[in-house]
Amino acid sequence: MTTAQHDRYSSPLAERYASRAMLALWSPRERHGLWRQLWLALAEAERELGVPIPDEAIAQMRAHLTDIDFAAVAEYERRFRHDVMAHVHAFADVAPAARPYIHLGATSCYVTDNGDLLLMRRGLEILRQKVLNTLGELAKFARQWRDEPALGYTHLQPAQLVTVGKRAALWMQDLVLDLADIDHRIATLPFRGVKGTTGTQASFLSIFEGDHEKVRALDRLVTGKLGFAQSIPVSGQTYSRKIDAQVLSAVSGVATSAAKFASDLRMLQAFGEIEEPFEKEQIGSSAMAYKRNPMRCERINALARFVQSVEPNANQTHAVQYFERTLDDSANRRLAIPESFLATDAILVLYGNVAAGLEVHPARIRRRVDDELPFMATEEIIVRAVRAGGDRQAVHEVIRRHSVEAARALKDGGAARNDLLERLAGDPEFTALGLSMDDLSAATEPSRFVGRAPRQVDDFLAEVIEPLLAAHGADVHAAREEVRV
């Protein structure tokens, strides 16, 4: 970073968080290079349909798609106060034979809207690959820990046991749903196409001297040249901003799934069960040298909150696009759309990094299970006591009384661990039934309480995740983005 850069604000998404690929996608060079591709496609299609555009004009345009003189553009924009016309003139300077034909019949939204749709589609493709790679990392984790019993929680209170791998499957399930949304948006995202100033295609009808079929063919040709299956059937000057809302909903969905994962992991790290990666020389706190903070997951939550706050913006913008369009969307969209993609990309960089380096502490997990499992086993103990000849209601009362006392001892420090089984084994009601400590302990084997969780992991991986990764060519061994502070 130069001295001059230290004297002006720069987005943390660019300086710290987002990947190189996503930053390059939303760069001025990529955006305005797409504008030139769009002008070339329009000229080529018009020529194919009979407009007398010289070969040299097409050749010069094709030769200068990427060598944009941004200083010249800035000077033109200072004079014209119009960004699209600044780029038209800069393009014409290097393709003089094409000067009469660049932007022929088009309005600014021909390049701005179609360009944004191209960028959003490519942005979704980048996010999709990162989601797939994250799924690959989580799949390895779930397979490794498929049958490790762990406390499950409902209402954030200990509930029936799950397994570490099953919990990872829940995180994966969210991403699978997100992936379906992303794939749907990529497959159905329409091109704006060639629609003219208010969407009536009047200028193109004039160019083709009233030939409606040529205007329709022009729209199809340009749409195909840019790799879209269809253009939006009707538009105003812009495509419906509802499309932005639909895209940002899919993007925000990914951020939300990541935030749920990060929140879970922050709590698991507080419990000491699972921790995010922590590098050899990483400092957790400037004051408390022992600290190991879940900073990656905290950052996921922070960035996700930003993305979630931007999503409603798109619907709000759509609601006030009076008639064929207003311009109060422009400055807003320059912020909302790229930053949503950049922030979600940054979230997935972090998510993939955490998923690939999760540290599990089985001893701590088992200790926490042991603290709660005797309570969970009481129903099984009742069954065993009745089978041994006990009265169900009397046994229930004995267990209830000892459970309350054991829980109080745990919470108040009267016991180092859950001693419910010892209390029951020493109770005359149980000794009279011949139930030993071994009998009671057998009722609390953790694997008895995880249900089908290990098999659910196996089924989910085999039936959902593995086919998905194979179909999309996910590469979990791909070079990972560096996580920057």
Q: pLDDT digit string (tens) for 11-38?
A: 899 888 999 999 999 999 999 999 999 9
The terminus-to-terminus CA distance of the chain in angstroms comes to 15
Angle between helices 242-271 and 108-144 (to 10 degrees): 30
Tell me what the mean pLDDT of segment 110-134 comes to.
Answer: 97
The pLDDT, as a whole number, for residue 371 is: 87
Residue 1 has pLDDT above 70, yes or no: no
| Confidence band of 279 (pLDDT split at 50, 70, 90) | low
Q: Are strands 149-154 and 274-275 parallel, antiparallel or unpaired?
A: unpaired
285 annotated active-site: yes
Query: In terms of Cα–Cα distance, which of 465, 447, 459, 483 is closest to 133?
Result: 465
Domains of the chain, first to last: 108-188+240-364+461-472 (1.20.200.10), 378-443 (1.10.40.30)
User: Identity (one letter) of the amino acid at 340?
Assistant: S
Which residue in this structure is represented by tokens 């089924």?
459
The pLDDT, as a whole number, for residue 280 is: 55
The mean pLDDT of the chain is 92
Query: In terms of Cα–Cα distance, which of 253, 227, 117, 247 is closest to 184?
Result: 247
Work out the percent of the chain whose per-residue pLDDT is above 70: 94
Query: In terms of Cα–Cα distance, which of 351, 242, 251, 257 is closest to 311?
Result: 251
- Catalytic residue, chosen from 6, 155, 286, 477, is 155
The pLDDT, as a whole number, for residue 289 is: 47
Q: What is the pLDDT of residues 166-215, one digit of tens each?
A: 999 999 999 999 999 999 999 999 999 999 999 999 999 999 999 999 99
Q: What is the pLDDT of residues 314-346, one digit of tens each?
A: 999 999 999 999 999 999 999 999 999 999 999
The pLDDT, as a whole number, for residue 484 is: 67
- Catalytic residue, chosen from 10, 27, 206, 285, is 285
The pLDDT, as a whole number, for residue 128 is: 97
Tell me what the mean pLDDT of segment 337-357 comes to.
Answer: 97
How would you label 139-170 residue by residue, b for 16+ Cβ within 10 Å and e otherwise? bebbeebbbbbbbbeeeeebeebbbbbbbbbe
Q: What is the pLDDT of residues 282-305, one digit of tens each?
A: 545 554 545 578 999 999 999 999
The conformation of residue 479, written as its DSSP 8-state character, comes to P
Residue 77, burial from CB neighbour count under 10 angstroms (0-12, 13-18, 19+): middle
Work out the percent of the chain whose per-residue pLDDT is above 90: 76
Tell me what the mean pLDDT of segment 62-68 comes to.
Answer: 97
340 annotated active-site: no
Q: Where is pLDDT greater, at 412 or 338?
A: 338
Residue 192 · residue 264 · CB < 8 Å:
no
Long-range contacts: 451-454, Cβ < 8 Å, 24+? Answer: 451/160, 453/146, 453/147, 453/161, 453/162, 453/163, 453/165, 453/166, 454/146, 454/147, 454/163, 454/165, 454/166
Q: What is the pLDDT of residues 417-475, one digit of tens each?
A: 888 888 988 888 888 888 888 888 888 889 989 999 999 999 999 999 999 999 876 55
